[in-house]
Amino acid sequence: MPEITILKRPREEAVITQRMFFKKTARGKVIKVLRERYLRDDISCGIDGCRACNTTAQTILSRSGDTTHKDFPTGHYILPDTNVFLAQMDLIESNYFTPPIIILQTVMEEVRHRSLPLYSRLKALTTTDERKVWVFYNEFRSETAIVREDDETPNDRNDRGIRKAAEWYNAHLTLAHPPIRGQPKLALPKVVLITDDFANRQKAEREKIPCISVRSYVDGMKNSDQLLDLLSATGSDEVEPTRAVAGRTALYADYLPMSTLVAGVKAGQLHQGHFNANQFNYLEGTVPVPAFTKPVLLMGRENMNRAVQGDVVVVEVFDEREWKAPTDEVIDQEATLKNDDAEDSEEEGDDLMVHEHESKALRAEHAKKAPTEKQPTGRVVGIIKRNWRAYVCHIDSTSLTSSNATSLGLQTVFATPVSRLLPRIRLRTRQAPSLIGNKILVTIDRWEITSRYPEGHFVRTLGKAESKEAEQESLLLEFEVPYRPFGKAILDCLPPEGEQWVVPPKSAAIPEWRDRADLRDLIICSIDPPGCQDIDDALHARRLTNGNIEAGVHIADVSHFVHPETAMDNEAAARGSTVYLVDKRIDMLPALLGTNLCSLRPHVERLAFSVIWEMTVDAEIVDVRFTKSVIASKAAFEYGEAQLRKDDPIRLLNSLAQKLKAKRMAAGALNLASPEVKIHLDSSESSDPVDVEQKALHETNSLVEEFMLLANTSVARKTQESFPQTSVLRRHLPPPPTNFEKLQDILQKRKGLKLDVSSSGALADSLDKCLDPKEPAFNTLVRIMATRCMLSAEYFSSGSVSRDTFGHYGLASPIYTHFTSPIRRYADILVHRQLAAAIGYTPLHPSLHSKMHVERIMEVVNRRHRMAQMAGRASVEFYVGLALKGRNEREKEVTEDAFVIRTFRNGLGVFVSKLGLEGLVMFKRDTQFDAENYTISVPSSDVGRPDVTISVFDKVTVRIEVEKDKNTQRGRVKMTLVNPVDSRAL
């Protein structure tokens, strides 16, 4: 028997190895936490051939480091501090930035504490095969572990720990490169501390630690020209402010301290919410807050106080006597500020001129506004959380001081974001001439109180504007869609058999068949859109001997392949949803699962999760059961094809679906509408659009929808009953009545129609009565406008909200979830796991017992779901633009019928239903605007004729062109009126 020796740690070591702190629980109880830290001396330095470290340990860093830097010719490794990763991640990630990097455990933990998105990028950097990155666990190595001293701040303690590790590394290199007898002593490589903290550099220099600032380090690199533009202004104490910022008087008020903001919100004196910019007027924004039914209106630059779309802000609401109504004028940022100079835009004369121009633009006749139109008005007094990220932009060519393509001089230029919701960004770059006509990525670094614009830095070029490749990538980046290829760790989670995987022969001893129902003999079919490859669902129906009908929904059993807390599960959770663009799909799961092993393709045995009902012929549910199953679909129909079938299963399903829908509608479900169009591509291999048309809806669309809704509702009841605290559900809150006030007023004044929004049933009934005998499309238009007054549906954890808010307003259902699309929605995978546990098939993973964990996932999934929808719509809009451009080239003039959906003092908002496209028709000449009655009177095209009055809901004819902006080289749709008046003369 081997001898076991127990070594007791000396008491004096406890100060280093133990960490004690106090923690406050959610219920307010204070507890003492004692954590043990085990120190070791065998943690590898990561340098190849190091004789002092364990020779069996993995090494990544080369023996001599990088020898290309002019300041470190004998070789070096860089050891950045935390702020370098927080401020300069774009530089670190660049393919041109290639020195070997040592990342300390201290730095990793501090980045994680400060910014989870940056921590995710940092973790991805440590796993890439293309870069030499080593993570050193300095907190667990005995020579580098430190303890916080008395009166030392956490930041100072971390800085000291980073210097200690850098000092140890340089001493350790003498052991990694021992002298060889008889040979001259070699110059050793250095471990260089990279920091922009001047005080930290001074301390490092006193301790004889090689150190350098980020800018100085980049200046000494051989490819510094490509890298200097990537430097963030916030990270460096050596970056000169532009003349527009230096020495200027403040344009904005300073933000209140965070403690004051938090206390003010808690006391109800201040209000917190997300800032939403106005797409029609860059000088207005709103912040929805719980205290008011209408959002807080922010008017003018000073009151928006440097807030950017999506920022979490704190606002102060003015006295009610100062409340105002939104302006009725389109104020375009590019047109208003077209003469601004990027370098000198804050000069006194320009400042006064622009201020006067903007003030004039905001001087709406508020006194004429009805009191009911006024809403809470205020100003931003602080920022809780910035939403800054990389934005897709174009360089404004008029802001260049030199257009010489070979010029490498540093220029300050304007980058104009693609999104109309964002301000122009001031950018310092040496590549300005070569960036003209390209789409580029720009990150905001700071927004000083003395600058009219935020300052940022160039990240990378996406490609030529209007090229499909650049447009597609920019669209994915703009809506933060993860589109990187699936990594090796994720692909390793797939079945090793790959495409050869099949459902094994039936046997009780085989895990796949455990507790599964064998439904292979049932006549099961799927009904999907044309070209669908990721078939999530299939259906069946058959008559029972007792006269009732058995109907079943069978959903791909994705959770059989995607297990909790694996690399594939983590990636699916991060992606949240498959994103469908016009000509491509960004999958949530690897294609082997999504389009093959999980897809319920015909004539192939597949694993499924089935919901099976026994119903009466009147669609009354007698019984429901849930089971894992094995199915073999007999056919895969497209909607149009299924519509023509008269087989008994489809006829039965359709009969039940009609009755289920009638019951939903009777219960108050809404039949809303959204503009959906179909893009016709040149061929299956080509992505060139040739035409656009409205999507045709078949009866079978409704058939599938009804059974998916029924399955989702049935599953929601089951999982909530089993897991009342953590069940993954989906709800749609009733919209505040104030959301409909404007639509109600327009319908009453323009059509004499009433819209009752007292309940979903009342709204459904009144929408049915919104008819215009002369215009059949009017009802659809009203439904589209009503849809925009709604709140968005959202996922939530059942234990996080009160039971009376579970309901789905649009579906008139007291409880609802998503179960039917696990191939393309991560929420559905979680619901599958919960349902499997509810029926006793598998135990529920511990993470789904944690309310906090489920809430955190729901937050990510909700955001990804919204972004996926927005990306899909933007893709359709881009391809509609391409199709229109092609029509412009083929036809002399493209004209379409449109409805007026909004009137402005200087234009009209119109909706072209055939193209699902909204646009602005602008008037440069003076018009007579009647805000009260939603009309605008414009001069007639015919001399001597009276003015033409146009109002909301009027049908007009518009001319549609795609023109290229001469400054940004961005193509944009331009609309002008043809009838009842030609607006080109206006």
pLDDT of residue 587 exceeding 90, the answer is yes
Q: Angle formed by the axes of helices 851-890 and 567-575, to 10°? A: 60
Strand partners, 499: none
928 and 952 part of one domain: yes
| 41 DSSP 8-state letter | S
Mean pLDDT within 136-154: 89
Mean pLDDT within 347-353: 50
Residue 244: its pLDDT value, please?
47
Give domain status of residue 243, yes or no.
Answer: no
Cα 947 from Cα 928, distance rounded (Å): 9
Mean pLDDT within 358-375: 59
Give domain status of residue 244, yes or no.
Answer: no
Give domain status of residue 22, yes or no.
Answer: no
pLDDT of residue 2 exceeding 80, the answer is no
Residue found under tokens 């002399």:
892
Cα 89 from Cα 83, distance rounded (Å): 10
223 and 204 part of one domain: yes
**Listed residues 429, 451, 478: the one ending a domain:** 478
76 and 164 part of one domain: yes
559 and 706 part of one domain: yes
Residue length, the chain?
986
pLDDT of residue 365 exceeding 70, the answer is no
Cα 725 from Cα 722, distance rounded (Å): 9
Of 50, 52, 59, 216, the residue nearest 132 (C-alpha): 59
Q: What is the pLDDT of residues 59-115, one digit of tens each?
A: 788 888 999 999 999 999 999 999 999 999 999 998 889 999 999 999 999 999 888
pLDDT classification of 404: cutoffs 50, 70, 90: low
**Listed residues 870, 902, 932: the one ending a domain:** 870
Strand partners, 928: 937
Mean pLDDT within 923-941: 85
Cα 765 from Cα 75, distance rounded (Å): 77
Residue 248: its pLDDT value, please?
66
The total of other beta-carbon atoms located within 10 Å of residue 498's CB is: 11
436 and 527 part of one domain: no
**Amino acid making up residue 129:** D
pLDDT of residue 364 exceeding 60, the answer is no
Higher model confidence: residue 57 or residue 789? 789
Residue 81: its pLDDT value, please?
94
Q: What is the pLDDT of residues 451-469, one digit of tens each?
A: 989 999 999 899 888 788 8
Residue 774: its pLDDT value, please?
86
Cα 453 from Cα 304, distance rounded (Å): 12
Task: Output the CA angle 543-545-547, nearest 5 degrees.
Answer: 65
pLDDT classification of 832: cutoffs 50, 70, 90: very high
CA 28 to chain centre: 34
Give domain status of residue 295, yes or no.
Answer: no
403 and 533 part of one domain: no
Residue 54: its pLDDT value, please?
66
With 0-12 / 13-18 / 19 or more C-beta atoms within 10 angstroms meaning exposed / middle / buried, residue 883 is buried
Task: Output the CA angle 162-164-167, nearest 5 degrees.
Answer: 110
549 and 672 part of one domain: yes
Cα 342 from Cα 413, distance rounded (Å): 5
458 and 498 part of one domain: no
Name residues whose C-beta falls within 8 Å of residue 941's C-beta, 6 or more positions apart in sequence. 981, 982, 985
Q: What are phi and psi of 817, to 5 degrees?
A: -150, -175
Mean pLDDT within 348-358: 53
Give domain status of residue 430, yes or no.
Answer: yes
Cα 606 from Cα 597, distance rounded (Å): 7
Higher model confidence: residue 10 or residue 44? 44
On whether the CB atoms of residues 229 and 88 are closer than 8 A, the answer is no
pLDDT of residue 646 exceeding 90, the answer is no
Question: Which range (6-15, 207-216, 724-733) has the least confidence?
Answer: 6-15
Share of the chain above pLDDT 70, in %: 87
Q: What is the CATH number of the domain that holds 949?
A: 2.40.50.140
| Mean residue pLDDT across the chain | 86
Q: H helices within 839-969, ranges in order?
A: 851-890
pLDDT of residue 739 exceeding 80, the answer is yes
631 and 517 part of one domain: yes
Mean pLDDT within 823-837: 96
Domain count, the chain: 5
Task: Output the CA angle 700-704-706, nearest 5 degrees.
Answer: 110
Q: Is the dihedral of CA 68, 73, 75, 78 positive or negative?
A: negative
Cα 143 from Cα 130, distance rounded (Å): 31
Q: What is the CATH number of the domain that holds 196?
A: 3.40.50.1010
Question: Which range (180-184, 763-767, 781-785) has the least confidence?
Answer: 180-184
Higher model confidence: residue 809 or residue 890? 809
Of 778, 767, 986, 752, the residue nearest 899 (C-alpha): 778
Give domain status of residue 884, yes or no.
Answer: no
Q: What are phi and psi of 191, to 5 degrees?
A: -100, 115
Residue 367: its pLDDT value, please?
44
Can you give the residue range of the structural domain that contains 525?
A: 488-718+857-870
Of 918, 919, 906, 902, the residue nearest 954 (C-alpha): 902
Give domain status of residue 215, yes or no.
Answer: yes
Higher model confidence: residue 697 or residue 539? 539
H/E stretch holding 744 reads helix 741-751
pLDDT of residue 474 exceeding 60, the answer is yes
Q: What is the pTM of this model?
A: 0.85
Residue 16: its pLDDT value, please?
63
Residue 239: its pLDDT value, please?
46
Residue 965: its pLDDT value, please?
65
473 and 523 part of one domain: no
461 and 495 part of one domain: no
Residue found under tokens 């323009």:
750
pLDDT of residue 675 exceeding 80, the answer is no
Highest average pLDDT, of 137-141, 347-351, 827-831, 927-931, comes from: 827-831
Residue 970: its pLDDT value, please?
63
**Listed residues 172, 198, 228: the one ending a domain:** 228
Residue 348: its pLDDT value, please?
43
Cα 353 from Cα 331, distance rounded (Å): 16
Cα 481 from Cα 317, distance rounded (Å): 36
Residue 571: its pLDDT value, please?
93
Q: What is the CATH number of the domain that holds 401?
A: 2.40.50.700
Residue 345: its pLDDT value, please?
53
- C-alpha atoms less than 13 angstroms from C-alpha of 662 in its C-beta half-sphere: 9
On whether the CB atoms of residues 111 and 122 are closer than 8 A, the answer is yes
| 577 DSSP 8-state letter | B
CA 867 to chain centre: 4
Mean pLDDT within 646-653: 80
Higher model confidence: residue 343 or residue 266? 266
Give domain status of residue 3, yes or no.
Answer: no
Q: What are phi and psi of 741, to 5 degrees?
A: -55, -45
Instruction: Tell me the two tokens of residue 366.
Output: 């508020």
Question: Which range (668-677, 699-708, 947-956) has the least confidence?
Answer: 668-677
The total of other beta-carbon atoms located within 10 Å of residue 941's CB is: 17
501 and 399 part of one domain: no
pLDDT classification of 269: cutoffs 50, 70, 90: very high
The total of other beta-carbon atoms located within 10 Å of residue 187's CB is: 10
